[in-house]
């Protein structure tokens, strides 16, 4: 299982939200670029970077994202407010390796399904699960489409992966809600990235033992629930 350390950005600062709510924001002292360098130096092969301002429709952090990309050599998975083909292509052209789309993947599913394979192969479809429904628009709305119907469509396309977040547990340090992630795993053979609620190394081990492909970890790192030296041991 690959570990993707998370960098969430608001107004150029490295932050973490609780349950995706901007009012539940904690600002951390390290700059996003410096955090990215730390993760690279510790041996992580890919980081997960989210532009929360773009997610919430409050501008963007394009300059900070470019600084991160230009200052590290490891792969970057990027997310946040990427809601049309032009935005996806722009991120690919800027050198980002995996492009996470959520709202666009659900609301624009017919358009996305017609993308060229070389674009689809870089897309991770975000399945942000809230009360067993798919959340969108910065987790402020829920889709009427069933989880199974969405997954079945993307199973037919050469996407990179599904990125499953347990919205209720995100930023809560409350532990993994494994049934949420298993609900997607039983529907697909695609790679799955999981995130939301990791509180300790036992959670990381649980994800590994349940054969998930990638795990995004944010708040547990910033709150020093374990060291990066211990975490990197799970990166296989």
Residues 17 and 52: beta-carbon distance below 8 Å? yes
- Selected catalytic residue, list 8, 51, 170, 203: 8
Catalytic site includes residue 8: yes
Task: Transcribe 151-201 into DSSP letters.
Answer: HHHHHTTT-SEEEEEEGGGTTT-----HHHHHHHHTT--SEEEEES---SH
Catalytic site includes residue 229: no
- Selected catalytic residue, list 51, 53, 128, 203: 128
Dihedral, CA of residue 124, residue 128, residue 132 and residue 134, to nearest 10: -80
Task: Transcribe the chain into DSSP letters.
Answer: -EEEEEEEEETTEEEEEETTEEEEEEE-SS-HHHHHHHHHHTT-SEEEEEEHHHHTTS---HHHHHHHHHH--SEEEEESS--SHHHHHHHHHTT-SEEEESHHHHHTHHHHTTS-HHHHTTEEEEEEEETTEEEETTTTEE-SS-HHHHHHHHHTTT-SEEEEEEGGGTTT-----HHHHHHHHTT--SEEEEES---SHHHHHHHHHTT-SEEEE-HHHHTTSS-HHHHGGG--
Catalytic positions, written as ranges: 8, 128
């Amino acid at each position: 299982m690959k570990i993707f350390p998370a960098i969430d950005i608001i107004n150029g600062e490295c932050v973490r939200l609780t349950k995706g709510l901007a009012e539940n924001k904690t600002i951390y002292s390290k700059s996003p670029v410096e955090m990215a360098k730390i993760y690279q130096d510790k041996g992580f092969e890919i980081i997960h970077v989210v532009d929360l301002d773009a997610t919430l429709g409050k501008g963007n952090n394009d300059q900070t994202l470019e600084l991160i990309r230009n200052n590290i050599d490891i792969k970057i998975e990027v997310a946040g407010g990427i809601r049309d083909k032009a935005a996806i292509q722009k991120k690919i052209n800027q050198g980002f390796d995996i492009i996470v789309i959520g709202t666009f993947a659900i609301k624009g599913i017919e358009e996305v399904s017609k993308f060229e394979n070389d674009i689809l192969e870089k897309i991770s479809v975000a399945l942000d699960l809230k009360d067993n429904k798919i959340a969108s628009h910065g987790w402020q709305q829920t889709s009427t489409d069933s989880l199974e119907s969405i997954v079945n469509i993307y199973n037919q396309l050469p996407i990179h992966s599904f990125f499953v977040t347990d919205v209720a547990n995100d930023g809560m340090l409350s532990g993994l809600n494994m049934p949420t992630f298993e609900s997607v795993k039983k529907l697909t053979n695609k790679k799955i990235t999981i995130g939301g609620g990791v509180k300790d190394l036992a959670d990381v081990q649980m994800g590994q033992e349940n054969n998930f492909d990638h795990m995004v970890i944010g708040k547990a790192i910033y709150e020093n629930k374990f060291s990066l030296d211990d975490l990197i041991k799970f990166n296989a």
